[in-house]
Amino acid sequence: NPDDKDKLSSRTLIVEDYGQFVIAMSSADDELAEFVDKNKIETEIYLPGSKFEPLRDFAHNLVESNTAEKDYYIVQFISPVRDKWLEDLKSIGAEFIQYVPNNAFFVYADSNQIHKIAQHYRVRWVGRYLPEDRISRVLRAQLQFARSEATIPENITPIEVNSDRVKLEIAIFSRADFKAVLKQIESKASAKIEESFRMPNNFFSYARVEVPLSEVEKISTLRDVFSIEAFIPPQPEDERAAQIVAGNYLSQTQLSPPGYNPQVQFGVSGQNVTVSVVDDGVSIPGNGGYYITANNTVNALSGATAGASGGHGHINASIIAGSTPFPSILDLLNYNYGLGVAPKANIINIPFLKSGYTGSYQQTANDTVSTSGVNGVKGTISNNSWGSGTNGNAYDSLAATYDSLAQDASTASTIDPILWVFSAGNSGTSGLTRPKVAKNVIAVANSENIRPELSTSANNIDDLNSSSSRGPAADTRIKPDITAPGTVITGSFAGDGS
């Protein structure tokens, strides 16, 4: 309130007034003791390979450049950035690329422009983006372990080494000439480009490369590389469960009677909703022709053969959209073994984890929003029960890739958003598997079903499975986002995939 502002201004310097709050400078806590609603501004800068306080730590020097050649810099402001400050600095000709915590931006500029930016009255610090900033802290630990230089933390998955070569995920600034940078990576580090795709609505594009273990650091010297991380191959992570999800239970250990019907209960049943199951394949139909059939499922194979390879994807499709309650396959208490949570929904089979699949992360997204189900409706939701190793719950380029694809999943000129749903992972206290810390995905933890006749691990819906990956995200965001039954679940059997 105005009285507090007057009182504060008489005791210390108000740096910036945002209306609902102010930024004040104080050299002693007792100066602000009577002000209860106060928080210290976070001033550390978080980069893929480093975290530092620029006015305290000396790992980064202030910008020193007299060349006209443009480069990437980090520009930090004294407080939350106002549009006017950005407009002033953009008028100099510099390119502001992406926000960086805290109160900072990646900027592409020449020496003259960056020196002008450094003189702005609201700029706190300016520094060059260095090679060591590009190698993620997780990758650094993985490389040290691969080279027998150090042990590796239990919450980080080791990088795979084959014939002294490793696979990396490279994020490349989108403003750069993508093809030219890929050629530079090949030349600089004796690399083989395995996969690459542009992300037009993101500040970086993606490449997966294979390089000699000894050459990894050379890629960090390429100016247009944003970050370097390890590629970890993705791994795959009844009516009773549907009743729990719907809130139909009498206590933590007792369900409501059989008869789950979301149309009657909620007025929705999955009608005109299409969900992609990105997994190890779905058989059309499932064993016996039950639940998953040509009446509710289509293929988007991208090189893989039709059918399920292991049954993991098929049962997930059944859990989502298992349809037609066959009386002959009710359990002992008359609950239907394979009734899905949304039994009128349609499924797109995307066999991402199956041998022969040639698509990419981006391809699974594009196939979802460009493929119509039997219902004639294109996919808008993607179910992903897989993960690419653990990394201490750090937000990385893979997570950022999925955040970008959530806003536009297609390769077409249209804007086609998608809802990503991921399993949290099966790594327990070692943490979430990648990319579950992404901000625009729903990460689902694994709780117990109610099937005590089958297992003591299915007797209380409030119990979290010990293997369910724990959060929070390394940046303290709450993850996983929700919890649903994932232990002792029944559903349609895929058969042999033929």
Considering the domain architecture, whether residues 270 and 210 belong to the same structural domain is answered as no
Mean pLDDT (the chain) is 91
Tally the domains of the chain: 4
70 within a domain of the structure (yes/no): yes
Q: What does the pLDDT look like over 415-436, one tens digit per residue?
A: 999 999 999 999 999 999 999 9
497 within a domain of the structure (yes/no): no
Considering the domain architecture, whether residues 432 and 299 belong to the same structural domain is answered as yes
The last residue of a domain, from among 210, 230, 250: 230
Q: What does the pLDDT look like over 312-345, one tens digit per residue?
A: 999 999 999 998 655 557 888 888 888 899 999 9
CATH number of the domain bearing residue 66: 3.30.70.80
496 within a domain of the structure (yes/no): no
Considering the domain architecture, whether residues 226 and 239 belong to the same structural domain is answered as no
d(CA 110, CA 98): 17
CATH number of the domain bearing residue 354: 3.40.50.200
Considering the domain architecture, whether residues 253 and 322 belong to the same structural domain is answered as yes
The last residue of a domain, from among 110, 132, 154: 132
Q: What is the pTM of this model?
A: 0.89
Considering the domain architecture, whether residues 371 and 356 belong to the same structural domain is answered as yes
396 within a domain of the structure (yes/no): yes
40 within a domain of the structure (yes/no): no
* Residue, of 270 and 336, whose pLDDT is higher: 270
Considering the domain architecture, whether residues 77 and 101 belong to the same structural domain is answered as yes
Considering the domain architecture, whether residues 419 and 316 belong to the same structural domain is answered as yes
Q: What does the pLDDT look like over 29-62, one tens digit per residue?
A: 566 666 767 788 899 999 999 999 998 886 666 6
Considering the domain architecture, whether residues 385 and 450 belong to the same structural domain is answered as yes
- pLDDT recorded at residue 286: 84
The last residue of a domain, from among 102, 132, 162: 132
Q: What does the pLDDT look like over 81-118, one tens digit per residue?
A: 999 999 999 999 999 999 999 999 999 999 999 999 99
How would residue 469 be classed by pLDDT, with cut points 50, 70 and 90? very high
Considering the domain architecture, whether residues 289 and 369 belong to the same structural domain is answered as yes
CATH number of the domain bearing residue 188: 3.30.70.1710
Considering the domain architecture, whether residues 143 and 84 belong to the same structural domain is answered as no
Q: What does the pLDDT look like over 336-390, one tens digit per residue?
A: 888 899 999 999 999 999 999 999 999 999 999 999 999 999 999 999 999 999 9
Considering the domain architecture, whether residues 319 and 346 belong to the same structural domain is answered as yes
Full domain range(s) for residue 258 = 235-487
69 within a domain of the structure (yes/no): yes
Considering the domain architecture, whether residues 314 and 350 belong to the same structural domain is answered as yes
